A and B are shown apart, each in its own frame.
Chain A
Amino acid sequence: MTMRKWLTDYRYLTLAQYYNQLGWLPFMVVISALLPVGMLFGLRLIGGGIGGAGVPFVITGSAVVSIVTMAVTSVATDLFFERRLGAFVYYASLPIARSAFILAIVTIRLVNTLPGVVVTLVAGKFLYDADLAFSPWLVVVILLSILSLIGLGAAIGLGVSNEQVLHMLANLSIIFVMFGAPVMIPADLLPGALQVAGYFLPPTYAANAFRGAVFGASVTTYWVDLLVLAGFGVLSFIIVTTALRWRAE
């Protein structure tokens, strides 16, 4: 396949993803912001004592929850139903590159996720009167965080064959990120097993990088997190592209 054909495939597969989501895009954006902003609001009401070191965890943790909502839950659900509806058989019958198909899915989810993240950070700034610094590296952090988590969403959407299990895993991923990973809760407050598990999960590194980029730390303090996120992103892209089976269900 020539580069020109690959680029044409990527362009029109992205357009297909965009068209297929157009009607409910605003709804998705609201949903992706609703949960994290609601959390910020609720924690402010019931957790009046949160302050100092806790605020960065709450604000950036909520942004990561927004990403997980879109990148894991939405991607898993979309791919599951595309598979079930027969979309993969249609795409598989076309002379297209699988990598272009996956990258088109990633691209649209990147676009879908951004508004929710931005709304969450801005809401956090005002609700907690936080002094956010918004480093230019924040863009890279958001992109890499989404990329690294889309792999998890795709793995659930492509690997699960039962709708109940799909919803259970998607919800579990949000609950785990909220309460079981060092995202909203500092790592040293978590049980040892969860601290160890956190090293193997992208949300841990996404939350670290977010805290650095939003609260004015130098990129030298979180470049390792960016590197690990990039690694997760590339790895998940390769695994999903390889594992995606163009086949009938």
Chain B
Amino acid sequence: MGVIHDARLDPSRPTAFVAAGGAQARAVVRVVGLRKVFKGDMVANDNIDLEILPGEVFGLLGPNGAGKTTLIMQVMGLLKPTAGAISVLGHDVVAHPNAAKGLVGFMPQKQIGHREMKVDQALYITGRLRGMSAAAARAQTEEVIARLDIGEFRRRPVEKLSGGMNRLATFAVTLMGRPQLIVLDEPTNDLDPLRRRRVWDVVAELNREGATVLLVTHNVLEAERVIQRVAIMSAGRIKALGSPGQLKARLGDEIRMEFVMRHTDGAADATVRRAVAPVEPLRVRPGRYVALVPRAEGGRYVDRALAALGEDVEDFRIAPPTLEDVYIQLDGHPLDDDA
């Protein structure tokens, strides 16, 4: 499967964005020929070229083990590439891994390791360590607490927070110091729907305020609201790159049919397969299936599927294609059980 080229980075398809000054000169993150091989010859990243432009929310999408976290760890200067070049805000982070750390906020996938430290202490100290004055760190601590609505647990030790609260506290810490580039690795894991919505709202707000965001997430359907460009990774490589609209256009004139079956056994697989034949459905998790069918024949497919599935179907939806569908088409595998 070939890479979908990004129109804004393609000189043969100039846009207003490129015309404004040239993407290469303005890139916040520039990755060229990146390769990372771990011990045992495990290739985590292979031949990756990527540019993230100022003021955009860039999503990295792909299944577990696709190499997304490895890629951002190298962008952060926390892993040394086997080959290739990475510049962040004009700094060569391969040669000088610490050069850009003052300008980048990083939310790792794991916790940040604080134990007895209280949430507001963690925020303030992070601000000071990021070079803020005492007054500025204090002010931003209050601002972030209010923005994320985490005042109720600001005085709780970090280790005593629930998984979701801990995730939110880690997100809050990442914002301290008002970094120019914010790198978020699965920011909404463990969060309830309301908190997830709050995080996406704040990401959108930060972006409007001028921050560039590099986002790794499994919550593709939600992230689609804020992502402006996306790279779909699989097996260490970038399979597709472009805006969500460009990538979804790749699916052509198709619509998405989604079924949730009452039973999750093998018989359900066969039933759904018969119901949408000759289109091959994908089981995205036990009991949940997606089929992309030609739009012009959508009505016929719907009638036939509902008749065939009868009482076995618990829920049925029909919608335009999503980024998840782009991924499925590219890789032939479901994105993630949580997606």
Are A90 and B108 closer than 8 Å at their CB atoms?
yes
In the assembled complex, the CB of A68 is this many whole angstroms from the nearest CB of chain B, namely 23
In the assembled complex, the CB of A25 is this many whole angstroms from the nearest CB of chain B, namely 9
A109 to B54, CA, bound (A): 44
In the assembled complex, the CB of A101 is this many whole angstroms from the nearest CB of chain B, namely 10
In the bound complex, residues from chain B placing their C-beta under 8 Å from that of A13 are: 129
A13 to B129, CA, bound (A): 8
**Which of B76, B111, B116 is in CB contact (< 8 Å) with A93?**
B76
Q: How large is the interface on B (under 10, 10 to 19, 20 to 34, 35 or more residues)?
A: 20 to 34
Residue ID in chain A nearest B70 by CB atoms = A248
In the bound complex, residues from chain B placing their C-beta under 8 Å from that of A21 are: 115-116
In the bound complex, residues from chain B placing their C-beta under 8 Å from that of A92 are: 78
Are A19 and B98 closer than 8 Å at their CB atoms?
no
Encoded as 1 (CB less than 8 Å from any B CB) or 0, chain A from 209 to 238 comes to: 000000000000000000000000000000
In the bound complex, residues from chain A placing their C-beta under 8 Å from that of B104 are: 93
Tell me if B106 counts as interface (CB < 8 A to partner A).
yes
**Which of A9, A89, A247 is in CB contact (< 8 Å) with B110?**
A89
A154 to B112, CA, bound (A): 20
**Which of A22, A24, A89, A93 is in CB contact (< 8 Å) with B101?**
A93
In the bound complex, residues from chain A placing their C-beta under 8 Å from that of B117 are: 16, 19-20
Encoded as 1 (CB less than 8 Å from any A CB) or 0, chain B from 93 to 131 comes to: 000011001101110101111111110011001101111
In the bound complex, residues from chain A placing their C-beta under 8 Å from that of B309 are: none
Task: Please tell me which stretch of A42-50, A80-88, A138-146 contacts chain B, meaning at least 4 of its Cβ atoms lie within 8 angstroms of it.
Answer: A80-88
**Which of A90, A93, A95 is in CB contact (< 8 Å) with B131?**
A95
Interface centre among A20, A87, A93, A246 (most CB of B within 10 A): A93
Give the number of residues in A that approach B within 8 Å (Cβ atoms). Answer: 28
Tell me if B84 counts as interface (CB < 8 A to partner A).
no
A23 to B117, CA, bound (A): 9
Tell me if A161 counts as interface (CB < 8 A to partner B).
no
Tell me if A243 counts as interface (CB < 8 A to partner B).
no
**Which of B101, B118, B121 is in CB contact (< 8 Å) with A94?**
B101
Tell me if B298 counts as interface (CB < 8 A to partner A).
no
A246 to B129, CA, bound (A): 16
In the bound complex, residues from chain A placing their C-beta under 8 Å from that of B118 are: 19
Are B113 and A90 closer than 8 Å at their CB atoms?
yes
Encoded as 1 (CB less than 8 Å from any A CB) or 0, chain B from 65 to 90 comes to: 00001000100101100000000000
Tell me if B157 counts as interface (CB < 8 A to partner A).
yes
A95-B111 in contact given A15-B125, A19-B117, A247-B79 (Cβ < 8 Å): no
In the bound complex, residues from chain B placing their C-beta under 8 Å from that of A85 are: 110-111, 113, 115
Task: Find residues 168-216 in chain A having any chain B CB closer than 8 Å to their own CB.
Answer: none
Are A12 and B113 closer than 8 Å at their CB atoms?
no
A92 to B73, CA, bound (A): 11
Are B110 and A95 closer than 8 Å at their CB atoms?
no
Are A16 and B102 closer than 8 Å at their CB atoms?
no
**Which of A23, A88, A89 is in CB contact (< 8 Å) with B157?**
A23
Are A94 and B116 closer than 8 Å at their CB atoms?
no
Task: Find residues 7-54 in chain A having any chain B CB closer than 8 Å to their own CB.
Answer: 8-9, 12-13, 15-16, 19-24
In the bound complex, residues from chain B placing their C-beta under 8 Å from that of A246 are: 78, 97
Are B125 and A12 closer than 8 Å at their CB atoms?
yes
**Which of B108, B116, B128 is in CB contact (< 8 Å) with A89?**
B108
In the assembled complex, the CB of A39 is this many whole angstroms from the nearest CB of chain B, namely 30
Residue ID in chain A nearest B97 by CB atoms = A246
In the assembled complex, the CB of B42 is this many whole angstroms from the nearest CB of chain A, namely 15
In the bound complex, residues from chain A placing their C-beta under 8 Å from that of B102 are: 95
Known: A86-B108, A89-B110. 6 other contacts (CB 8 A): A8-B129, A15-B125, A19-B116, A19-B121, A90-B112, A246-B97
7 pairs of residues in contact across A and B, judged by CB atoms under 8 Å? A20-B115, A86-B111, A89-B110, A89-B113, A94-B101, A95-B130, A95-B131
Lowest 3 CB-CB distances: which A-B pairs, in order?
A87-B113, A86-B110, A90-B112
Residues of A within 8 A of B (CB): 5, 8-9, 12-13, 15-16, 19-24, 82, 85-90, 92-96, 246-248
